[in-house]
Amino acid sequence: MAYEGILLGMGNPLLDISAVVDDAFLDKYDIKLNNAILAEEKHLSMYDEMSSKYEVEFIAGGATQNSIKVAQWMLQIPGATSYMGCIGKDKYGEEMKKDSTAAGVNVHYYEDEAAPTGTCAVCVVGGERSLIANLSAANCYKSEHLKRPENWALVEKAKYYYIAGFFLTVSPESILLVAEHAAANNKVFMMNLSAPFICEFFKDAQEKVLPYMDYVFGNETEARTFSRVHGWEVILQ
2 is a domain residue = no
Residue 169's CATH number: 3.40.1190.20
Dihedral sign for Cα atoms in the order 81, 87, 91, 92: negative
The pLDDT score that the predictor gives to residue 1 is: 58
- What's the pTM? 0.86
pLDDT tens for 16-43 read 999 999 999 999 999 998 887 888 999 9
103 is a domain residue = yes
Enumerate the β-bridge partners of residue 133: 38, 120
- CA–CA dist 206, 169 (Å, integer): 10
109 is a domain residue = yes
32 is a domain residue = no
In sequence order, what DSSP letters do the residues of 189-216 get, joined into one string? EEEE---HHHHHHTHHHHHHHGGG-SEE
218 is a domain residue = yes
154 is a domain residue = yes
Total domains in the chain come to 1
38 is a domain residue = no
200 is a domain residue = yes
Q: Label residue 188 left, alpha or beta by phi (over 0 means left) and psi (-120 to 50 means alpha).
A: beta
The pLDDT score that the predictor gives to residue 234 is: 56
Q: Is 134 helix (H, G, I), strand (E, B) or coil?
A: strand
Amino acid at position 17, single letter: I
The pLDDT score that the predictor gives to residue 237 is: 47
* Domain around 220: 7-13+62-115+136-229
Q: Is 234 helix (H, G, I), strand (E, B) or coil?
A: coil
The parts of the chain modelled with pLDDT lower than 70 are: 1, 233-237
